[in-house]
Amino acid sequence: MDKLVIEGGHTLRGTLPISGSKNTALALMAAGLLGDGPTTLENIPNLRDINTFARVIGVTGAEVAFDPVEHVLTVDPTTLEYPEAPYELVKRMRASFYMLGALLGRVGEARVSLPGGCAWGPRPVDLHLRGMEAFGASVALDQGYVVARAPGGRLPGGVFRLEPSSVGATINLVLATVTARGGSRIENAAIEPDVVVFCDALRAMGARIDGVGTRTLEIEGVSSLRPVTFRNASDRIELGTFMIAAALAGAPGETVRLSHADPGHLGEAFTEAFLRTGAGFQPGPDFVEVVAPEEIRPVSIETAVYPGFPTDLQAQWTVLMTQASGNSKIIDNVYFDRFKHIPELRRMGVNAIVIGNEVVIEGKIPIQGAQVMSTDLRASVSLVLAGLVAEGETHVLRIYHLDRGYENLENKLAAAGIPIRRERYDEFADPVLEHPHDA
């Protein structure tokens, strides 16, 4: 397995480029399955999740070609023959469940494995299933698989209200209904930039979707969609992560530039909280400039759906708050138990405690380098952030989680002055003791 080794205490400076959005790219790839020919997607990051989803699509007989250097991915659904998504791949990445909507929309039937739980707890798909039924699909469970069918090959359409609002369910339901026979309305739809960009792509393909970016989506089914060339958005979570890195490890008063960014996708809550820490934040059309503060002020946050504070930046914010001049509190209202990073951070000296869905963090705590374990994508990057300000070396193990969602993380940080390297290690090797007891 691979680990990242970070030498703490160095200054982050210069420019870090932001890659294409992972979460938006996955939705766009699913949209590509609905076109009448090959759809070309630009600015697709070279990540494990993208490659996993390319394999999921490949199982159906549709073709995916990915140029990871040019970041261009083509989805050609014209050869699609087998409307299914197997457990072995869906269990690796929950977004594979988009195949349910995409296949219903494309061929009117789907056999898709139910995803299991995830590292930080149960993540249900009940809204996806109830929504499909509300739009006229028959949905049955068969040995761990969801088997869904549209009567006569195309869904009739209908009305469904999402409670709570869900990014994934909105995307899945839009995929299933843009080619329906009739009209559909999705109430309390997600308005995250990922959903908006995905709907923009479908509209470019000829889909009729009204209300994009609002809580009510009105969809009028069309009989076919044309293939397009479409540019993916920049990754807002990577941008937020690097903003936090710059505030933590930048030199006070010195600008760190984050290029190829979509600052408008950060959402008000995050930018407001960021400014309240005392950090400088200057957005440009496609970049963001950040200036680390002399002293980080404590800022308590609560996660919420967009434009609220993203749950995907909560773990990183925790690390920023360990260096603040006072105590703070973080509440995750989206995922109540997404705190697997806390015990690992505590091994680095952080004083944070979890009570229910809240974390209380003591500020101004010196962090020590240690061997720590990644448990999920955002938790792992929070450990890397802690490593930036730790005393000594931090070894972040099991970084396959990081490789799911951060493209070239170590190269980007290294180019910005951080001593960081990837090393192979044997997870089951016996420890090498410095003072063997049996000597």
**What residue ranges bind ligand UD1 (CB under 6 A)?**
23, 26, 94-95, 123-128, 164, 166-169, 194, 311-312, 334-335
Nearer to ligand UD1, 166 or 323 (CB): 166
Q: Nearest approach, Cβ of 306 to ligand UD1 (angstroms)?
A: 8
Q: Nearest approach, Cβ of 372 to ligand UD1 (angstroms)?
A: 21
∠ CA 86-87-88, nearest 5°, is: 95
Nearer to ligand UD1, 311 or 380 (CB): 311
Looking up tokens 């990242």 gives 4
Residues recorded for the chain: 439
58: tokens are: 């490949």
> Who contacts 132 (Cβ-Cβ below 8 Å, separation ≥6)?
100, 101, 104, 139, 148, 155, 172, 173, 176
Q: Nearest approach, Cβ of 186 to ligand UD1 (angstroms)?
A: 13
Q: Nearest approach, Cβ of 237 to ligand UD1 (angstroms)?
A: 7
∠ CA 268-376-427, nearest 5°, is: 150
Secondary structure (3-state) at 315 = helix
Secondary structure (3-state) at 185 = strand
CA distances from residue 422 to 1, 4, 384, 397, 433 in whole angstroms, order as listed:
10, 5, 12, 10, 22
Residue 349, number of CB atoms within 10 A of its CB? 16
Nearer to ligand UD1, 280 or 310 (CB): 310
Name the residue with the smallest CB distance to ligand UD1.
168
Q: Nearest approach, Cβ of 131 to ligand UD1 (angstroms)?
A: 8
As to burial, measured by CB atoms within 10 angstroms (0-12 exposed, 13-18 middle, 19+ buried), residue 357 is: middle
| Residue 118 is a catalytic residue | yes
Nearer to ligand UD1, 377 or 383 (CB): 377
Secondary structure (3-state) at 38 = coil
Q: Nearest approach, Cβ of 302 to ligand UD1 (angstroms)?
A: 14
Q: Are 62 and 138 in contact (CB under 8 A)?
A: no
Nearer to ligand UD1, 12 or 169 (CB): 169
Spot the catalytic one: 72, 114, 118, 222.
118
Nearer to ligand UD1, 55 or 94 (CB): 94
Nearer to ligand UD1, 76 or 238 (CB): 238
d(CA 190, CA 363) in angstroms, rounded, equals 34
CA distances from residue 76 to 37, 53, 376 in whole angstroms, order as listed:
6, 14, 31
Looking up tokens 């703070």 gives 328
Residue 431, number of CB atoms within 10 A of its CB? 5
Nearer to ligand UD1, 312 or 410 (CB): 312
Secondary structure (3-state) at 158 = strand
Q: Nearest approach, Cβ of 129 to ligand UD1 (angstroms)?
A: 7
Hey, which residues does 413 pair with through a beta bridge?
none
Q: Nearest approach, Cβ of 181 to ligand UD1 (angstroms)?
A: 25
d(CA 165, CA 167) in angstroms, rounded, equals 7
Half-sphere exposure of residue 343, counting CA atoms within 13 Å on the CB side? Answer: 7
Q: Are 329 and 361 in contact (CB under 8 A)?
A: yes
d(CA 149, CA 224) in angstroms, rounded, equals 18
Q: Nearest approach, Cβ of 118 to ligand UD1 (angstroms)?
A: 9
Nearer to ligand UD1, 87 or 335 (CB): 335
Active site residues: 118
